[in-house]
């Protein structure tokens, strides 16, 4: 019965519908990896990336949205680990220079809410970025003006007055579009995505994520977010559905992790996030992984490095009776420097609550994710990208 239902659902998606919207992505290599490829010296890298900054990944996935009427266009990082949308306010401080600012005065549909916001990005040892400002309400559309857009009237978003260095230095984006299931800011307001679901704009209360791997290429097509349906063009059949264990993130339970001869068996809570360009593991597991790989910690990159030319095993994550294997091509980053590659696996220290792992883009490139918000479960499917 379950397989029959999924087949009917997939066939409905193939036929197309006005309630299914595709959001094309742009792939951008991280600033740190780009600088490493350029051969910057250790002092230069350390000056650009102070102690504690953990931008070790090789990617950022960017989409175009518009806000207001007439439309104002912005490039945003699409992140499934946060539920908030923000764009620089017209009166933002110098931290928002070199970004496109939203102008409320030119939008016929803008409404001020009289409320402020203060966001912190990260968790555990990864807390590092903040954005603050005030909130407004307007028409938000997912997709560029010339595309078939998901139009969501009366959506709440933040107008940022100040942002910290990571967002300031990321000149490729104007802001962030959060797609997590949590309520926005103080949990009294719906995020734009939940607003769209509540207003019945989607055929099904779910969205699919397909991410592509492009190595050193930047500003190239990077994948697809599909709202209201399953992306059958880029994703294989759903392998399994996993129940959510949180109402604030896309979290589920895993049973074990292994790589080579190392194996750690214990039920652990994980969350997935398109805004995290690495896999974040508990330090007691990370130590076993880096020992197997012969990885060495680099003070230059603030991450682990491995020789590029040595064979590397898959990273296997077991959920129930199914093993999900992450290829080394997805968890190792070649920076073209003297046979040195970066390991896109980092350590995470939590506070005893919530997820102990973040399965970021290395895992999400390997497997498409179907975020079924209506039924509170995650579907995983093999990515059909050919390497």
At 53 the pLDDT is 24
Cβ(10)–Cβ(203) under 8 Å?
no
Would residue 346 be called left, alpha or beta, if left means φ above 0 and alpha means ψ between -120 and 50 degrees? beta
Q: Verify that 214 and 353 share a domain, yes or no.
A: no
Instruction: Give residue-wise pLDDT tens across range 272-284.
Output: 999 988 999 999 9
As given in the structure block, the two tokens for residue 188 are 């009294």
**41 vs 143: CA distance, rounded Å:** 39
Average pLDDT over residues 101-125: 88
Strand partners, 56: none
Rg of the chain's alpha carbons, rounded to an integer? 20
**Which residues fall within 8 angstroms of residue 124, CB to CB, at 6 or more apart?**
348, 349, 350, 351
Return the minimum-mean-pLDDT range out of 63-67, 68-72, 188-192, 286-290: 188-192
**157 vs 162: CA distance, rounded Å:** 15
94 to 90, 101, 307: CA distances (angstroms): 11, 12, 41
Q: Is 255 part of any domain? A: yes
Q: What are phi and psi of 192, to 5 degrees?
A: -55, -40
Q: Verify that 207 and 76 share a domain, yes or no.
A: yes
Q: Is 170 part of any domain? A: yes
Q: Which helix or strand (DSSP H or E) is residue 7 part of?
A: helix 2-15
73: closest CA among 62, 82, 64, 61? 64
Q: Verify that 308 and 190 share a domain, yes or no.
A: no
Q: Given 187, 209, 227, which residue is the final one in a domain?
A: 227
* Sheet architecture: strand order including 315-319: 322-326, 315-319, 251-259, 262-272, 357-359, 279-282, 345-348
- Residue 246: CATH number of its domain: 2.40.70.10
Q: Given 227, 244, 267, which residue is the final one in a domain?
A: 227
Q: Verify that 132 and 275 share a domain, yes or no.
A: no
CA 184 to chain centre: 17
Q: Considering all CA atoms of the chain, what is the largest pairwise distance in Å, rounded to the nearest integer?
A: 62
Q: Is 243 part of any domain? A: yes
**229 vs 281: CA distance, rounded Å:** 31
At 7 the pLDDT is 34
Average pLDDT over residues 134-159: 90
Q: Verify that 241 and 220 share a domain, yes or no.
A: no
**Which residues fall within 8 angstroms of residue 238, CB to CB, at 6 or more apart?**
6, 230, 370, 379, 380, 381
Instruction: Give residue-wise pLDDT tens across range 224-233.
Output: 999 999 999 9
Strands 345-348 and 279-282: parallel
At 303 the pLDDT is 85
Q: Verify that 79 and 35 share a domain, yes or no.
A: yes
Q: Is 301 part of any domain? A: yes
At 33 the pLDDT is 65
What is the domain extent for residue 134? Answer: 17-227
133: closest CA among 150, 112, 154? 112
Q: Is 6 part of any domain? A: no
Q: What is the 3-state secondary structure (H, E, C) of 24-45?
A: EEEEECCHHHHHHHCCCCHHHH
Q: How confident is the model at residue 187 (pLDDT cuts 50, 70, 90)?
A: low
Q: Verify that 350 and 292 share a domain, yes or no.
A: yes
Q: What are phi and psi of 289, to 5 degrees?
A: -65, -50
Q: Is 7 part of any domain? A: no
Q: Verify that 179 and 37 share a domain, yes or no.
A: yes
| First-to-final CA distance of the chain | 35
Cβ(40)–Cβ(239) under 8 Å?
no
**Total residue count of the chain as it appears in this document:** 387
**157 vs 153: CA distance, rounded Å:** 12
Mean pLDDT (the chain) is 85
Residue by residue, DSSP assigns 115-152 as: EEEEEEE--GGG--EEEEEEEEEEEEEES-TTS--EEE
Instruction: Give residue-wise pLDDT tens across range 352-383.
Output: 566 899 999 999 999 999 999 999 999 999 99
Q: Verify that 301 and 354 share a domain, yes or no.
A: yes
At 372 the pLDDT is 97
**Which is higher by pLDDT, 189 or 362?**
362
Q: What are phi and psi of 124, to 5 degrees?
A: 55, -125
Q: What are phi and psi of 336, to 5 degrees?
A: 60, 45
Q: Verify that 222 and 246 share a domain, yes or no.
A: no
Query: Helix, strand, or coil here: 166?
Result: helix
123: closest CA among 368, 370, 348? 348
Tally of domains in the chain? 2
Q: Verify that 50 and 163 share a domain, yes or no.
A: yes
Instruction: Give residue-wise pLDDT tens across range 294-350.
Output: 999 988 777 899 999 999 999 999 999 999 999 999 999 888 778 889 899 999 876
- Whole-model pTM: value is 0.87
Q: How confident is the model at residue 26 (pLDDT cuts 50, 70, 90)?
A: confident
Strand partners, 127: none
Instruction: Give residue-wise pLDDT tens across range 27-43.
Output: 876 666 666 666 554 44
Strands 251-259 and 315-319: antiparallel
Q: Verify that 221 and 339 share a domain, yes or no.
A: no
23: closest CA among 153, 274, 196, 207? 207
Q: Is 10 part of any domain? A: no
Instruction: Give residue-wise pLDDT tens across range 190-202.
Output: 899 999 999 999 9
Q: Given 199, 227, 255, which residue is the final one in a domain?
A: 227
Q: How confident is the model at residue 141 (pLDDT cuts 50, 70, 90)?
A: very high
Strand partners, 62: 26, 77
At 43 the pLDDT is 43
Residue 17 has pLDDT above 50, yes or no: no
As given in the structure block, the two tokens for residue 221 are 């097509």
Q: Is 11 part of any domain? A: no
């Amino acid at each position: 019965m379950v397989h029959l239902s999924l087949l009917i659902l997939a066939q409905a998606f193939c036929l197309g519908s006005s309630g299914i919207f595709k959001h094309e992505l742009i792939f951008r290599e991280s600033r740190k990896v780009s600088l490493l490829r350029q051969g910057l010296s250790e002092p230069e890298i350390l000056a650009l990336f102070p102690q504690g900054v953990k931008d070790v990944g090789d990617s950022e996935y960017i989409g175009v949205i518009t806000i207001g009427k007439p439309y104002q266009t912005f490039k945003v990082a699409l992140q499934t680990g946060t539920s908030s949308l923000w764009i620089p306010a017209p009166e933002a401080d110098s931290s928002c220079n070199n970004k496109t600012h939203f102008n409320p005065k030119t939008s016929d549909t803008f409404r001020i809410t009289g409320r402020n916001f203060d966001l912190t990005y990260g968790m555990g040892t990864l807390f590092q970025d903040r954005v603050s400002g005030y909130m407004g309400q307007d028409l938000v559309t997912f997709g560029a003006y010339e595309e078939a857009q998901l139009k969501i009237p009366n959506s709440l978003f933040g107008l940022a007055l100040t942002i910290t260095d990571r967002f300031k230095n990321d000149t490729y984006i104007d802001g962030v579009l959060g797609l997590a299931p949590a309520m926005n800011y103080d949990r009294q307001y719906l995020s734009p995505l939940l607003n769209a679901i509540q207003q019945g704009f989607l055929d099904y209360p779910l969205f699919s994520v397909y991410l592509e791997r492009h190595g050193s290429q930047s500003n190239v097509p990077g994948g697809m977010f599909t709202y209201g349906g399953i992306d059958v063009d880029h994703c294989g059949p759903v392998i399994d559905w996993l129940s959510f264990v949180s109402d604030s993130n896309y979290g589920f339970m895993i049973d074990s992790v292994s790589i080579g001869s190392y194996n750690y068996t214990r039920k652990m809570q994980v969350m997935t996030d398109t805004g995290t360009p690495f896999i974040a593991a508990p330090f007691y597991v990370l130590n076993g992984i880096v020992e197997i790989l012969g990885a060495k910690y680099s003070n230059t990159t603030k991450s682990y490095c491995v020789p590029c030319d040595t064979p590397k095993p898959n990273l296997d994550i077991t959920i129930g009776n199914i093993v999900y294997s992450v290829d080394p091509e997805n968890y190792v980053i070649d920076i073209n420097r003297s046979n040195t590659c970066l390991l896109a696996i980092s350590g995470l220290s939590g506070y005893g609550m919530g997820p102990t792992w973040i399965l970021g883009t290395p895992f999400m490139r390997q497997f498409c994710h179907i975020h079924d918000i209506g039924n509170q479960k995650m579907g995983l499917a093999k990515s059909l990208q050919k390497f």
